[in-house]
Amino acid sequence: MLGATLDSPSRRAPRTHEIEGIAPVHRFHLAPRFLQLAALACEGNGYKEIGEAMGLTAGTVKVYGALAMRSSGARNRTQLAVWYDRGYFDPPPVDCFPGVELSDT
CATH of the domain at 71: 1.10.10.10
Q: How do residues 45-60 score in pLDDT, each as one tens digit?
A: 999 999 999 999 999 9
- Report yes or no on 36 lying in a domain: yes
- Report yes or no on 57 lying in a domain: yes
Q: How many distinct structural domains can be found in the chain?
A: 1
Domain that includes residue 79, residue range: 27-85
Decide: pTM greater than 0.75: no
Element (H, E) at 33: helix 32-42
How is residue 1 annotated by DSSP? -
Residue 92 — pLDDT band, cuts 50, 70, 90?
low
- Residues forming beta bridges with residue 28, ordered by sequence position: 89
Residue 90 — pLDDT band, cuts 50, 70, 90?
confident
Please report how many Cα atoms fall inside a 13 Å half-sphere around the Cα of residue 82, on the Cβ side: 12
Rounded (5°) CA angle 15-67-81: 70
- Report yes or no on 102 lying in a domain: no
- Report yes or no on 81 lying in a domain: yes
Nearest to 89 by CA among 75, 73, 100: 73
